[in-house]
Amino acid sequence: MKDPNARLLDNELAFKSLFEHATISILVTDENGDINLVNPNAEKLFGYAKEELTGKPIELLIPESLKDKHRQYRQQYFKEPKARPMGLGKDLFARDKNGRTFPVEISLGYYKLGTKKMAVAFITDVSERKKAEEILRSSEETTRLIMNSALDAIVCIDTNGCITVWNPQAEKIFGWTESEVKGRRLSETIIPEQYRALHEAGLKRYLTTRQHTVINKLIEITALNSNGKEFPIELTIIPMRQKDNDFFCAFIRDITERREAEYRQNEFAENLKQKNIELEQFAYVASHDLQEPLRTVSGFVELLKRHYKDQADENVTKYINYITDASDRMRRLVQDLLEYSRLGRERILESIDCNAMVQDVLSDLTMAIQESQAVIHIGRLPVISGYTTEMKQLFQNLISNSLKFRKPGDPPVIDLSVSPKDDHWTFKITDNGIGIDEKYWDRIFIIFQRLHTKNEYDGTGIGLAHCKKITELHNGKIWVDSTPGKGSTFYFTVRKRSSDVWK
């Protein structure tokens, strides 16, 4: 039989080994609150060596604001000591050597050493757990906030197809409160009868095979509200998993107003298209038919000229010249109107080498270029897809305008270049001409709008209206930036296509 003293020695060695190697922090105090024993893990936790703590009051490790309360708790504990968690249901805090306060959990044990009452405190730093709990609480609160403030209806169902989540926007869209629908089958609540079998079959197929046709996709379908009215919705269904449980969340948006707006827009666009066709037909017919009486007027004016050419009545000659000039202007107006109405009537996309086209335009404008002594710089231009006749007219109108609206005595200097963008080409034509006041920048693109009298600059005021219509035919736009007396820069864009290249 083993000697009792030997067994006692073995127990002491076992306790010492357990005390020294425990992964939890352990402190032993007497009933006066003085620290008697400190294990290595407690040294690490509080940042003190055991020599610094031994004999010191336990309140050294308590935040200043809690020391008085701790003394009361300690004194009360030693009146009726027993093993139990300390501060159950309360937030406990400790303080390390550097003054850091951190949350802890403490379990207390009790034993007697001779006549002395001793308390054993098992201390766990729960800082990381508290942070995780706070993050979880914050996440849950954020989720509730998102659910409640979402503009979309959010409806979740379990694997049985029963509603588990029904946010305020769902109440607004469908007309049922959460308490009215929670636990009800989705298919019997908001899904129209013609789709119910598909819904049930799709749910069953996904749970069995994970195959699906609508999961994680934006789809448009109809739904039912509390009054049984069917209305269009936009829907995305997302499968989710939480604590080994599968469920599905649907994000739903009522698109009734959007559908109605699209219908009105389509109806308006169709009406506008028809009106434009009618207007172009009217312009074509009117301008075509007006040419006949103009030819008659011009013919009789020519007869009058011949009849009175040998007479000396200056007034008659002057009046005849007035009629001739007016007839010529009217003929040009009618011709321009006829050309305007014809723009885009025969739309055949062709490959256009802008370099060659601009050279053709310059060749046509040779007389005007030589008379004005113009200097024209042409940059590298692309090959684009467009309507050949219209594009040539666009370049010709803009270049001839730069030649026409020059400052007296100053030869025109014209630069033409292009910049490639992601989905379009931006052309730029700059001159040193008379410029345009900013208040007229929009007006100049309106048909028959002129900023100068016919005596100052010839023309009908329709050239830039042509340019605007041509750029719109090419899914582009045109605008101007100008300073009076310093010149103008006209920009226009043309939609870029896959076949377009730099020459």
**What are the two backbone dihedrals, phi and then psi, of residue 34, each rounded to the nearest 5 degrees?**
-90, 140
Give 354-398 as a DSSP string. HHHHHHHHHHHTHHHHHHHT-EEEE---EEEEE-HHHHHHHHHHH
How would you classify residue 289: left for phi > 0, otherwise alpha for psi between -120 and 50, otherwise beta? alpha
Task: Give the other-Cβ count within 10 Å of 101's Cβ.
Answer: 14
Alpha carbons 399 and 411: distance in angstroms, whole number: 14
Tokens (6 digits) for 176: 């049922």
Q: Return the CATH number of the domain spanning residue range 150-254.
A: 3.30.450.20
The answer to whether residues 466 and 340 touch, using CB atoms and an 8 Å cutoff, is: yes
Provide mean pLDDT across the span 49-53.
92
**What are the two backbone dihedrals, phi and then psi, of residue 64, each rounded to the nearest 5 degrees?**
-50, -45
Residue 448 has pLDDT above 70, yes or no: no
Question: Which of the following CATH numbers is that of domain 14-125: 3.40.50.300, 3.40.50.1100, 3.40.50.620, 3.30.450.20?
Answer: 3.30.450.20
Amino acid 89: pLDDT: 47
* pLDDT tens profile 205-215: 888 888 878 88
Amino acid 273: pLDDT: 74
* pLDDT tens profile 143-198: 677 677 778 899 999 999 999 999 999 999 999 999 999 999 999 999 999 999 98
Residues of the chain with CATH 1.10.287: 263-342
Alpha carbons 148 and 166: distance in angstroms, whole number: 10
- The distance from CA 309 to its chain's CA centroid, rounded to whole angstroms, is 75
The answer to whether residues 500 and 384 touch, using CB atoms and an 8 Å cutoff, is: yes
Alpha carbons 30 and 113: distance in angstroms, whole number: 9
Tokens (6 digits) for 61: 């490790």
Enclosing H/E stretch for 178 = helix 178-181
Torsion angle (degrees, nearest 10) of CA 253, 257, 259, 263: -170
Quote the pTM value: 0.42
Residues of the chain with CATH 3.30.450.20: 14-125, 150-254
Q: Does CATH place domain 350-502 in 3.30.565.10?
A: yes
**What are the two backbone dihedrals, phi and then psi, of residue 427, each rounded to the nearest 5 degrees?**
-90, 150
* pLDDT tens profile 118-158: 888 888 888 888 876 776 666 566 667 767 777 889 999 99
Q: Map residue 87 onto helix, strand or coil.
A: coil
* Highest mean pLDDT out of 65-69, 242-246, 321-325: 65-69
Alpha carbons 467 and 451: distance in angstroms, whole number: 17
Contacts of residue 93, defined as CB under 8 A and 6 or more positions apart, other chains included, come to 62, 63, 66, 101, 102, 103, 104
Tokens (6 digits) for 258: 């959007």
The 230-242 sheet, strands edge to edge: 163-166, 153-158, 245-254, 230-242, 218-224
Alpha carbons 150 and 410: distance in angstroms, whole number: 65
Contacts of residue 392, defined as CB under 8 A and 6 or more positions apart, other chains included, come to 357, 360, 361
Question: Which of the following CATH numbers is that of domain 263-342: 2.30.30, 1.10.287, 1.10.8, 3.40.50?
Answer: 1.10.287
Residue type, position 398, single letter: L
- The distance from CA 472 to its chain's CA centroid, rounded to whole angstroms, is 26
Beta partners for residue 350, in sequence order: 386
* pLDDT tens profile 60-107: 999 998 888 888 888 888 888 776 665 554 578 999 999 999 999 888
Provide mean pLDDT across the span 276-303.
70
Residue type, position 122, single letter: F
Short-list 99, 91, 38, CA closest to 69? 91
Provide mean pLDDT across the span 48-67.
91
Place of tokens 């990381």: 128
Per the document, the length of the chain is 503
- How many Å from the N-terminal Cα to the C-terminal Cα in the chain? 108
* pLDDT tens profile 343-382: 666 667 889 999 999 998 998 889 889 999 999 999 999 9
